[in-house]
Structure 1
Amino acid sequence: MDDVPLALLFASLLILLALSAMFSGGETALMAVNRYRLRHLVRIGHTGARRVEELLRQPDRLISLVLLGNNFVNVLASSIATLIALRLWGEAGIAIGAVLLTITLLIFSEVTPKTLAALHPERLAFVAGYYLSALMAVLLPLVLVVNFFSTGLLRLLGVHPQANGSNQLTREELKTLLFEAGHHFAPRHRGMLLRLLDLESVVVEDVMVHRNEVRYLDIDDNWSDQLEQLRNSPHTRLPVCRGSLDNIIGVLHLRQIMHLLAGDDFDGESLQTLLEEPYYVPEGTSLTQQLLQFQAHRAHLAIVVDEYGDTVGLVTVEDILGEIIGEFTDNPIAVKSDVHPQPDGSCLVAGSASVRELNRTMGWDLPLSDAKTLNGAILEHLEDIPTPATSLLLGDYPVEIVQTRGNVVQVARIGARMKRGS
């Protein structure tokens, strides 16, 4: 090797360092590329994405290929660096060359390309896909031999390489992904997606209209009173009962009778012939399941019953969709009428207001528990019936009881959220 020009040795060393950088950067880019965006690009026909996905489909072969190439060029670079050092410094040059080559490899062939690949994985992964795919076609037999021995060694150690873990994301992982990628979504859209992921953990009882707030038609009332109620109802569907909600006989679709209300021949008996059979659901049904049931039954309203079969409220498709996208009908939002902002920044809130609705509409973070209303949350916290002027801390919010009636909190004042430690 003494007759090889020194310039040629330096040129060869530079080429090998560049190849080492390509292997190191390519490996990092391929492993760091966003797999979900990659699948999207594959679906729309991106050629580079298809090539990268093909390589990543068998990561054991990809790793073997990269290590084969990287080790080969690094060993060859070490040999050439040793020759150069011997020419320049003699026997002492071996140690000098080893130190210089280690530093050079570390900076130019490892840290720099890997950092660049980690910062721009997609762009560099598509470039690496070209030369690694070509190299895989050439070195596949050698890669298979290396994999055969490495797989055998893993099996001896009790590791089964084929037992790949699931690539499916859990609900919590999806939520984390949405938070981290929040800058790609409008805040409203991100909120909708997060609420959609939480839909399985919310039950009908959390969003239903409670029994004491349900508007219904009692056929035992005077007929003129029934007509007045039908003409002024803000709802398109009404439960029809005899005496109370414990005796529901059907559900009336008001659009079906609007043209009949002006006629003299429309009476209680005619009304009963137009009733639809009531659809009952248990209060513990998840919103995801209930939405699917609404679709299967082609229903828009369901009567909610407890474990004893007693009516506790009703739920509509709009209630569930409102949990995802917020209120969207022309009807007034109930919680708005329950909250009255005060000049000092506090709010007077009706005790019957839903805690979930308050959190969602007002942007608060009141603690959720078995109690669904503000009155229930206060009673659960105090474990006693409060009197006016009683104060408490509900979560991080100061609450003052303003008005009670019997055993029920009618109005409470909720102040601004207190900071931790204050």
Structure 2
Amino acid sequence: MTLTQSLLLIAALIAASAFFSLAEISLAAARRLRLRQLADDGDTRAQKVMQIQEQPGHYFTVVQIGLNAIAILGGVVGEGALTPYFALLFEVWVAPALAQQLAFGASFICIVAVFLVFADLFPKRLGMNNPEQLAMRLVGPMQLCITVLKPLVWLFMRSTDGLFRLLGLPMQREDTITSADILAMTEAGAQAGVLAAREQQVIANVFELDTRLVSSVMTSRDRIAWLHKDDPESVLRARIVAAPYSAYPVCEGDIDHVLGYVDAKDMFHRVLSGQPLQFDKGLPLHKALVIPDRLTLTEVLEQFRLAGEDFAIVVNEYSLVVGVITLNDVMSTVMGDLVQTVDEEPQIMRRDENSWLVDGVTPIGDVQRALDIDELPHADEYETLAGFLMVMLRRVPRRTDSVSWGGFTFEVMDVDSHRIDQVMVTRGGPAAAPGTPARPA
């Protein structure tokens, strides 16, 4: 065989090896969701690729037969074609016996390098760029190869299946998709610029609804604006002006004896129509939806849907009112700062590069996200920043108390009737070394 014929054969072997490498990586990297979309659009090749992904044994067996056979044949052809020429070159400087050995090594290195670049690295990088389209284009030729090599495929498949059974390994590929998978895809999309950072955060917030309790977003007991059933119209008007909300719990005696709620739209309508603003004179009182404080936000949404309401009273295990929540509260949690109004003060305000001023009732998940903290100690014992400080200090915090953890110092700035109003969070400093235990100032 002449040198030209040998080089042409090597080029053909490289092309064949590149074909099998491309077929292998494109099938492995093809995203099932994207393939399903293409199949739904009528592309039958996408359906074939998904079927092969479910049972990829025959496909990869053919790939490995092709790659290994071509690699061996390429080494034989390359050694026979290049070694004589390298030997002639090396004989100029060294003895013929040594020149022959050096020539064999040089031809081996050249063949390996060429196959590595053109038959492995290049096709695999190419296959990663658009795996679904390439997998669909190659599925037909690969099915033909599977048919031609069926006897060999059967032999090797039975041997491999026996080994899998012996080791107790699964025989089929699992394609279950978790929320973590979806979040990882959205984060990758945000990093690639496909999704805006705020859009990605909205998606993450939706998945958090299953883990966040109602107590993390409700209006707490001490902030509830409630009305007494027997209040005269002047008192009702004054309270509404002082605390304008969409709905007000109506109680008898104290806040723990809720009779229902009144809708601000009903009150507004009666005021405009000149009707009296009193419950004993026709002001409608709606039955209140009462929910436990251990529900998740997803469960709250389901309660709202079933009851046809958008306002609920939150009670604890002792049937004491601990807060109220509206549909708008839940949706604001999902939308984040996308729906924050101009006059609404954010719960987390960044003062400079290394300090934040945080409301004590801020959900601890929001604090972790703002500070980029992966985890906090005793995370299952609290839901807000105030709860974190109480757990770490093992008492009700006082003004100037501080806790250090994970490179941050949390200092209580303001306390109102045992309620933590403001916390200063500072990054760095000797007292904020990672893992520093809690300490009172």
TM beyond 0.5: yes
The answer as to 2:381 corresponding to 1:370 is yes
C-alpha distance in 2, partners of 1:83/1:375? 78
Q: Tell me if structure 1 keeps the 8 A contact 2:402–2:410.
A: yes
Give the 3 Å change call, closer, same or farther, for CA 31–363 of structure 1 in structure 2: same
Q: Tell me if structure 1 keeps the 8 A contact 2:61–2:157.
A: no
CA drift at 1:330: 4.9
Match of 1:172 in 2: 180
The answer as to 2:161 corresponding to 1:154 is yes
CA drift at 1:231: 6.1
Match of 1:107 in 2: 113
CA drift at 1:388: 4.4
The answer as to 2:28 corresponding to 1:31 is yes
Partner-residue secondary structure (3-state), 1:200: coil
- 1:384-403 map, 5 Å: 384-385=395-396, 387-393=398-404, 396-402=407-413
Match of 1:304 in 2: 314
C-alpha distance in 2, partners of 1:86/1:391? 76
The answer as to 2:122 corresponding to 1:116 is yes
- The AA in structure 1 aligned to 2:59 is L
CA drift at 1:285: 0.9
CA drift at 1:148: 5.3
CA drift at 1:37: 3.7
- The AA in structure 1 aligned to 2:116 is E
Match of 1:130 in 2: 137
C-alpha distance in 1, partners of 2:68/2:409? 66
Which ranges of structure 2 fall in alignment gaps of 5 or more residues? 89-96, 435-441
C-alpha distance in 1, partners of 2:16/2:384? 67
CA drift at 1:7: 3.5
Match of 2:280 in 1: 269
Structure 2 residue aligned with 1:258, among 259, 263, 268?
A: 268
- The AA in structure 2 aligned to 1:14 is A
C-alpha distance in 2, partners of 1:188/1:68? 49
Structure 2 residue aligned with 1:354, among 359, 362, 367?
A: 362
The answer as to 2:296 corresponding to 1:289 is no
C-alpha distance in 1, partners of 2:389/2:70? 72
- The AA in structure 1 aligned to 2:113 is I
Structure 2 residue aligned with 1:182, among 177, 190, 211?
A: 190
Given the two structures, how large is their TM-score scaled by the length of structure 1?
0.79
C-alpha distance in 1, partners of 2:295/2:60? 48
Deviations, residues 244-277 of structure 1 (Å, cap 9, x unaligned)? 22111112222134222242455322446x2221
C-alpha distance in 1, partners of 2:82/2:401? 86
Give the 3 Å change call, closer, same or farther, for CA 26–307 of structure 1 in structure 2: same
Q: Tell me if structure 1 keeps the 8 A contact 2:230–2:279.
A: no
Give the 3 Å change call, closer, same or farther, for CA 147–322 of structure 1 in structure 2: farther
The count of residues paired between Structure 1 and Structure 2 equals 414
CA drift at 1:312: 1.0
Give the 3 Å change call, closer, same or farther, for CA 129–387 of structure 1 in structure 2: closer
Partner-residue secondary structure (3-state), 1:134: helix
Q: Tell me if structure 2 keeps the 8 A contact 1:38–1:49.
A: yes
CA drift at 1:299: 1.5
The answer as to 2:218 corresponding to 1:218 is no
CA RMSD of aligned residues (A): 4.1
C-alpha distance in 2, partners of 1:167/1:358? 32
The answer as to 2:4 corresponding to 1:7 is yes
The answer as to 2:253 corresponding to 1:243 is yes
Q: Tell me if structure 2 keeps the 8 A contact 1:30–1:52.
A: yes
- The AA in structure 2 aligned to 1:22 is F
Partner-residue secondary structure (3-state), 2:269: coil
C-alpha distance in 2, partners of 1:31/1:314? 51
